[in-house]
Structure formats: structure tokens, C-alpha cells
Chains A and B, each alone.
Chain A
Amino acid sequence: MADVEHRIRQYIAENFLLDGGQAALHNDDSFLEKGIIDSTGVLELVNWMEESFGFEVDDTELIPDNLDSIDRLAAFIERKCAKP
């Protein structure tokens, strides 16, 4: 879990975070409310997950409940990876 969280943080920091790095972002901060991700960003994020973790994200899974914070993303990735 810690590793997944670290990778998410690193990815977000490198691609979306512009205001001083990772420390400013809390695990439960909403990417939408913080203005971190726009419509292109969501698809970039999905692309990264699919490439990095080797699973496919269904269109029905493209919802803020799954993707809109570090915690939610980490939990989503764990769930997807746990599936046989």
C-alpha cells in the first residue's frame, strides 16, 4: 500500500502538481477541488494506471469515488490488483 501511495504521489507531483511539491497535498485532498486534474488529466491518469499496474479500467469505473484523491486511487488500485 505504501509503495502504491508513493508511486501515485510521485506521478501526481511530476505531472499535475505545480504548487510546491508533494508535501502540500494531503491523502484525502480532492483532485477536482484542488484544481489538480481536468478532463484530459483524468484520461492521462487512467492511462498511467493501466500501463503501470497492468489492469484495465472500465468506463463505468471512471468516477471521482475511485480516482479523486491519493487515498481513493490507492484503494482502487489495490482492489483492481487483487482481482484475479
Chain B
Amino acid sequence: MGPPNTIVGYGAWRLEVACRVMCGIAGILNFDAERVDPDLLRRMIGMVGHRGPDGQDLYTDGGVGLAHARLSIIDLSGGRQPMSNRDQSIWVTFNGEIFNYLELREDLLKRGHRFATQSDTEVILHLYEEHGEDCVRFFNGQWAFAVWDLAGRKLFLSRDRLGVRPLVYTVAGRSLIFGSEIKSLFAHPAVRRAIDPHALDQLCTVWTTIPPKTIFHEVLELPPGHSMTVQDGKIDVRPYWRLEYPRDPEPMDEQACADRLLELLTDATRIRLRSDVPVGAYLSGGLDSSLLTALILRVTNAPLKTFSVAFEDADFDESGYQRDVIRFLNTDHQEVRCSSRDIGRVFPDVIWHTEKPVLRTAPAPLFLLSRLVRDQGFKVVLTGEGSDEMLGGYDIFKEAKIRRFWAARPDSRLRPLLLRRLYPYLRDLQHQSDAYLQAFFHVRPEERADPLFSHLPRWDLTSRIKLFFSDAVRAEISHDDVYAELRRRLPEGFAQWPSLSQAQHLEATYLLPGYILSSQGDRMAMAHSVEGRFPFLDHRVVEYAAGIPPTLKMKVLNEKYILKRCAAGLIPESVRRRPKQPYMAPDIPSFFGPDEAPYLDAYLSDGALRRAGVFDPRKVGQLLEKCRKGRRQGFRENMALVAILSTQIVYDRFVANFVS
């Protein structure tokens, strides 16, 4: 931890300074108070050494053990974890950042609290002393932590509002076992390791498991925005924050709305630059990361290092736009050039870090990017995730709007033309007849009232992967109904929300934490000890954005309209006005062709598939043959191949051959 008021920054940055460690956590609570074995705890925390390779510390108190893996950034004397309060009655192990800790600390000082360090970790302890479990309501940050409160023999766990930092747990025997990653839990001998077919059914529908489920049997995640108390052998999980939308959003003046949004985003960026190490930025060449880069420069007025992925395959590459931004903002830029072969090469390691199957290879380039960031000596990056969800950027929102519009007049000849315009990069779609478009996009008048309307085409298409399931898995899930489960979980009042808000909520509740922030986010960055920070997910921004009228988020079919207004003059016009391109990477071509991935047979042979028991070897064999012939592949084949391969890797590395 840094001494007070030390200034260490990149170039001429003069920033407020915190004591920072990036890290992983783990812990055990034995309900029968049997002493926690420190060696076991050490093995558990050792599994997440990539999150904090510079050392591990433990705290044990009879039946309780907390562990912490740290990444040293500067002097750590003031911020070792697990950390206690002054009388050692409260202990915490913490992964993440409380960005408003300076303001909270100031306030606590006025109330008579005395601090031994400059760290945000200590602020958690003092705020817990002051407000108990409600302390989390005051935090602006990204966190997963466990507090052990000796007085009440109470364990209190919490996770940030949007799910930036991971926290998983399980109950095995007479123990609650928790950690940043599942591999820590599996280091405990009492924890069973098995893929849960019901969770796989969910993942092969909505791209991720539905919290609290993870892909593993009996392993749960603490959902975003939730806290958990464990006391007297009872576990209580409850939300402390919810993403809610107004039924009738108040009209807003456009300019006033853009000004306020920009003000909030600027402050969200400012407090995320609080660091005693250099902070870089991811720059994709899209609106969000470009604006974010501009805001960083506005706040710091100092040189900035930016990082991006460039693809060899022009279909995926955005480096032209990236260059526009780099020239305009004059950043010191580094890129990782990524080929299909690179993706195939690292894919098994990527899955070791995602700890769940994925349906696209898109996390792999971000794995390579975080390696570049680490090799350049950077440990923190600001990045633009969350903007598309909160401000209406995704194609699926536009698609749903067009489908609604068309479903009102299903015989219209002109309305379906909008769908073709929406996906200019999907060449196959351009040739389809209206009747096929109607079928693919579910344009049926009777479905307009379905609360899941916006997502049904995507989820139906994704569900085709299940055709590859083995008979045993199909039998096991035959009574599951993922859509019914999703409908059951909709918040009160959802049906009355504007349709864009409904779609945004579904996206922000499932894909954002389960895939974007996890498989593509935390897990890829932390694989190389890099911490991502997300100004668009500052809860003040999120709450303000929820109240912005849908017509300002998507004006006719102009996505993120209000954000584009914010960005006027701050980023190149070519980027502000460019068509949106979804971030994607080559899927099937990453594994096949002249440089076929050497491990395919090990994971996808008849024997390997039979041992895992998840997929039907004959059907997978057909798919592999198709892939090897190099014929045109659709979404279905691409998603299926990546899903099957990643599931097989999960099975191999976490179930069959797990090494603690």
C-alpha cells in the first residue's frame, strides 16, 4: 500500500492516491466450528494465484478462515489482507475497488473514526462498523468481499451491483466454502465436481447460467447486487440493489440530458483513475471506448496509453477506426494482432479462466490483449463495457423494435426491409425472402405481448445447440423450461415498462454479468493480473440512464443517440457517425483448416465425448466432418462447435483431470 499522498502516475498524471491491490479471495466457514486447516486454505487461494501472484495471506479463527492473494503494486505495508479493525473484532478479505473511498473516509473521520492505513479496504471495515450490512449501499465500486464479524459469529459476503467482480460458494458437508473462482472451491476435497445439465440447458439458451447457478452442480454464485449472511448455520441471500426502469419516463430536454450524462460519466471516469499505478484504456474504435478515452484525457490532461485488438481477418477488424481515434486524441497506442490460429492456440487456457462453456471465441482475443497490457507494465485499464446495455446500443434492441413494427402489419412489404438494413454484415440474410425473415425473426403478432419478445429469436437460435446433447442429458432436462424460469424471475412491474427498457433489463441481468463482464471481462483480464474498470457501470450513470426516455436512447433506429450527442466534438466524427459493429472473432476457422488445432481429437474424439457424456458422439462427428470440409457455416454450426469444444474442455480440466 502506498504511503499517504504519494503520487505515482503515468507521465504527468497528478491523481489522488490510494493503496491498491488486485486480488483474489477465498474462505471457509465450518458450521461445526472445527478448526480450519491453514494448508487447505493456502491450497484454495493458490488456485487463483493469477489474480494476485505476489503473495498470499491467511486469517483463521477456529472454524473460520479467510484468504487473500495479492498483487503488489507499491508499498503494501498499510494494506495487508485479511485486514481487521482496531480491536480485531471484524476481519475482511476483499477483491476490488471502492472508488469513492476518499469521500467515505472523509465522512467517517468526521464521525470520529481513526484510520491506520490509506486503503479502501479499511473504509469497508469502518463503514461496516457504522452501518452494518447496509454499508454496501454507500459504496461506488466493484467488489466481492467477505467480512467476519466475531461478535455475532457472522459471515457477511457481498458483491457489487452489476457483477463486475466474481464471488462463488458452495456448501459441502458441514462447511461453507467460497472464493473468487470455482477452482479454489474445487481445491477443497469435500466439494464435488460435476457439470450440471440443467445449468448447461440455461447456458445453451441465454449464453450464461441463470444466477445463482453456475455450470457446476451445487456450486452457486452470489448474484450481482446481492449480499449474503451466514449465521447460526443459516444462509440468507438477499438483494440490496435492483436495476429498475420507470413505467412512464419523464420527458427530458435533449441537451440537458446529454449534459447531465456527460457530467456523470466524467466523474465516473475521474474516480476510476484513482490509482497508484499507471492506468491505460482499451480502445476498440467504437463510440464507447473512444468517448471514454476522450474523457480520461479531459480529466488528466496527460499522456495516455491505449490498447486494442486488431484482427487479421478484415471481417472482424476495426483498426481503421482505432487509428482515427488515436490520431484525434494523440494516445500512445499498442495493439495485439490476432489471427484465427492465435485464437485456437490459446482457447483451452481461455476456458480454464472462464470456468464455463462459451458460445463464441470472442473472449480469446481479450485474453491476448490483457497479456499485452501486462507485458507493457500496466495493471489497470478503463474500458467501455456497459454502455450498450444501459444506453441502448445493441442490435438486438433495434431488431426488437423493427419486429414489433412489422408484427403490427405482418403483410407489409416495406417493414421487413428494415431488418436487412439492420444486419448489413450478415450476408446470408440479405438474400432471404420476407417469409423467411418473418420466420427467423419471430414476427408473429401474438408474440408481441410476450415479456421475452425481444430475445426470443436469439434464444431460440442458441437453443439449437441442444440438438447435440446426449440422450442422457436430454432426458435429464426434459422437464426444464428455461423461458418459464426467466418469466418467473421478471421483476414486479416489468410488463408495464417500455419495451426497450424490458429488453435492456434482460440484457443487463443475464448477458452482461454472466458473459460480457465475466467470460469476456474479469476472467480474461485477471488471467494476466489486469484489472478492468467500467465507468459506464458506475451506479449513478446506470440509474440516470434507466430514467432517460427510450426515445432519447434510440431515436427511431439511431442507437445510443444521447451518448452520440455527448460525444460531439470529443471524438472523430467518423467514429461518432460510424455504423455499429458487434465485437466478434472467427469461430470455426480458429480450429480448422491447414493449421487444425492439435487438441481437437483429445477433446472431441468419440471416446472423449462418451466419457463426458454430455454430447452425442455421432452428431458431433457429423458436425466435425462439416467443419473439416470447410463449407459455409451458419450461426448454428459456429455456436455449436464452440459450445461443444468449450464444454469438453471444462469437463476435462475441472471434472476429469482437475489438478489442485
Contact = CB atoms under 8 A, between A and B. Distances in A.
A44 B631 CA distance: 9
A65 interface: yes
Nearest to B626: A15
A18 interface: yes
B428 A19 contact: no
A81 B461 CA distance: 33
B82 to A, nearest CB: 51
Interface of B is mostly: helix
Interface residues of A, number: 19
A15 to B, nearest CB: 7
A43 B635 CA distance: 13
Nearest to B463: A35
A39 B436 contact: yes
Interface in A59-74: 59-60, 62-65
Given A38-B461, A43-B632, A65 B435 contact: yes
Contacts of A41: 634, 636
Interface string B392-425: 0000000000000000000000000000000000
B39 to A, nearest CB: 48
Contacts of A40: 428, 632-637
B468 A39 contact: no
Contacts of A39: 426, 428-429, 432, 436, 440, 634-635
B208 to A, nearest CB: 21
B433 A59 contact: yes
A41 B622 CA distance: 15
A42 interface: yes
Interface in A14-50: 14-15, 18-19, 32, 35, 38-44
A18 B467 contact: yes
B431 interface: yes
Contacts of A60: 433
Interface of A is mostly: helix
B464 A64 contact: no
A63 B632 contact: no
A19 B622 CA distance: 11
Given A14-B622, A15-B626, A18-B467, A43 B431 contact: yes
Nearest to A59: B431
Given A18-B619, A40-B633, A62 B428 contact: no
A40 B635 CA distance: 8
Contacts of B468: 18
* From B426, B440, B635, B636, residue with most partner A Cβ within 10 Å: B636
B634 A18 contact: no
Contacts of B431: 43, 59, 62
Given A18-B468, A64-B439, A38 B635 contact: yes
Contacts of A32: 439
B335 interface: no
A60 B413 CA distance: 13
B70 to A, nearest CB: 48
18 contacts: A18-B622, A19-B619, A35-B463, A35-B464, A38-B440, A39-B429, A39-B440, A39-B635, A40-B634, A40-B635, A40-B637, A41-B636, A42-B436, A43-B428, A59-B433, A62-B433, A62-B436, A64-B435
Interface of A: 14-15, 18-19, 32, 35, 38-44, 59-60, 62-65
The 3 closest A-B pairs by CB, nearest first: A40-B634, A18-B619, A62-B433
